[in-house]
């Protein structure tokens, strides 16, 4: 039986906590870190010099403080030196970014993806190819400390296998393992559900900073979600939590890819909107097609207006259910749901007024994503940085060898 954490555990924890402050909050002076972390000045100094020696942060004199006295040194993340690879796989698009410590997107590649086919070899090959291209352009003193991917599908917590992804056509795909092998960096690739990761991204860097209870809704071909309760992502028993797209909002409704009927995804997803607007099958797909419907509605096309208002009603019903169950402080609309919400807010909030309970909707804030299209990539990068923040020196030592 142990009495408590050892000296070494405490030091590791403090190093991670300090690095997290700088990673999320940007350049911070030692004095601010002292008051934010509640540690004394000499401890902060010892911690920063350890992190500086490891090349994770660097200290600089501030430009001007406007105050009297010797200025406190500012601790900055070594964004250009320490980086991770973030991958994003959605039905229409794959993207790879090189993201520096501190969350700076240093480099980014993306390409369209053909819908309806999922060949693991081909997909991971393309992603790893992009990563290699970007890696070749980096300086010699840079170091890659992690990699993670956001995937539009259900990811099993235990082994990172994409167990289902009706919109990707993926099934039981050992995606992380395969991508890790193709990358050949000797780093494991963590995998997460895209909406879950986007929720974390909005929570740590987006519109939901300092909001402990939020629900992020992600619209793509389908509808995904991430629920953050009390500051933690609700992962569920196996990691499939937050699949709000399969909440039934109309039992007699449209058939859903999951086999059920009237799921939020089937009633509000891209196909539902395009079919209702009489635009399915012909012309563009994806985000552009959704935008075109919203634009047509704005110009006075009554078919598009009708379609948008029907979709808005169903979306509002779904949000009302979520609000009643989780009592979030904020609901964030991301992906194509940003456009859908702004174009049908009257319907969405009408359904909320009718179906959400008074006390729950009283202080509820509805917002659109602040990170926009980058939300899923930023989320993947945060996942990749997670183990660096848990044990900075150990991870860096391993990456340097």
**Interacting residues toward another protein by CB under 8 A:** 291, 294-295, 298, 338-339, 341-350, 352-354, 358, 361-362, 364, 366-368, 370
Q: How far is the CB of 336 from another protein (least distance, A)?
A: 12
Under 8 Å between Cβ of 141 and 396: no
CA atoms within 13 A of residue 3's CA, in its CB half-sphere: 2
Q: How far is the CB of 299 from another protein (least distance, A)?
A: 9
Nearest CB to another protein, comparing residues 119 and 357: 357
Nearest CB to another protein, comparing residues 60 and 295: 295
Contacts of 340 (CB under 8 A, 6+ apart): 219, 268, 273, 290, 294, 308, 311, 312, 315, 333
Nearest CB to another protein, comparing residues 65 and 138: 65
Nearest CB to another protein, comparing residues 141 and 362: 362
Q: How far is the CB of 353 from another protein (least distance, A)?
A: 5
Nearest CB to another protein, comparing residues 143 and 366: 366
Q: How far is the CB of 315 from another protein (least distance, A)?
A: 12
Residue 232 structure tokens: 């933690």
CA atoms within 13 A of residue 257's CA, in its CB half-sphere: 21
Closest CA to 88 of 247, 220, 265: 220
Q: How far is the CB of 350 from another protein (least distance, A)?
A: 4
Q: How far is the CB of 360 from another protein (least distance, A)?
A: 10
Under 8 Å between Cβ of 37 and 17: yes
Nearest CB to another protein, comparing residues 95 and 348: 348
Strands (E), 71-198: 74-77, 82-89, 93-100, 104-112, 143-151, 154-155, 162-165, 170-173, 189-193
Under 8 Å between Cβ of 295 and 307: no
Torsion of CA 321, 326, 330, 335, to 10 degrees: -60
Compute the residue count for the chain. 401
């Amino acid at each position: 039986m142990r009495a408590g954490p050892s000296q070494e555990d405490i030091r590791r924890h403090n190093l991670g906590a300090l690095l997290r402050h700088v990673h999320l909050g940007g350049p911070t002076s030692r004095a601010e870190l002292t008051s934010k972390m509640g540690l004394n000045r000499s401890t902060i100094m010892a911690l920063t010099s350890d992190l500086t020696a490891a090349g994770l942060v660097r200290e600089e004199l501030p430009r001007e403080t406007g105050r009297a006295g010797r200025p406190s040194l500012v601790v900055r993340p070594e964004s250009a030196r320490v980086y991770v690879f973030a991958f994003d796989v959605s039905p229409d698009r794959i993207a790879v970014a090189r993201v520096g410590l501190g969350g700076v997107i240093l480099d980014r590649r993306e390409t369209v993806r053909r819908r309806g086919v999922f060949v693991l070899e081909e997909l991971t090959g393309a992603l790893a190819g992009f990563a290699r291209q970007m890696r070749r352009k980096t300086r010699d003193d840079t170091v890659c400390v992690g990699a993670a991917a956001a995937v539009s599908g259900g990811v099993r917590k235990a082994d990172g296998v994409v167990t289902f992804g009706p919109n990707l056509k993926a099934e039981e795909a050992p995606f992380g393992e395969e991508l890790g092998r193709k990358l050949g960096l000797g780093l494991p690739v963590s995998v997460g559900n895209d909406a879950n990761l986007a929720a974390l991204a909005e929570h740590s860097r987006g519109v939901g900073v300092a909001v402990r209870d939020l629900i992020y809704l992600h619209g793509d071909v389908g509808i995904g979600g991430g629920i953050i309760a009390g500051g933690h992502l609700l992962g569920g028993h196996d990691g499939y939590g937050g699949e709000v797209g399969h909440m039934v909002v109309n039992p007699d409704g449209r058939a859903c890819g999951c086999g059920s009927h009237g799921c939020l995804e089937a009633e509000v997803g891209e196909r539902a909107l395009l079919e209702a607007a009489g635009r399915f099958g012909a012309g563009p797909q994806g985000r552009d097609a959704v935008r075109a419907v919203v634009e047509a509605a704005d110009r006075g096309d009554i078919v598009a207006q009708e379609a948008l208002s029907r979709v808005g009603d169903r979306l509002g019903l779904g949000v009302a259910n979520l609000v009643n169950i989780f009592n979030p402080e904020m609901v964030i609309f991301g992906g194509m749901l940003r456009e859908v919400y702004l174009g049908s807010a009257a319907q969405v909030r009408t359904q909320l007024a009718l179906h959400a309970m008074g006390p729950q909707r009283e202080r509820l804030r509805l917002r659109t994503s602040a990170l926009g299209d980058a939300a899923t990539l930023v989320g993947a990068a945060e996942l990749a940085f997670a183990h660096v923040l848990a044990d900075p020196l150990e991870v860096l030592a391993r990456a340097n060898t």
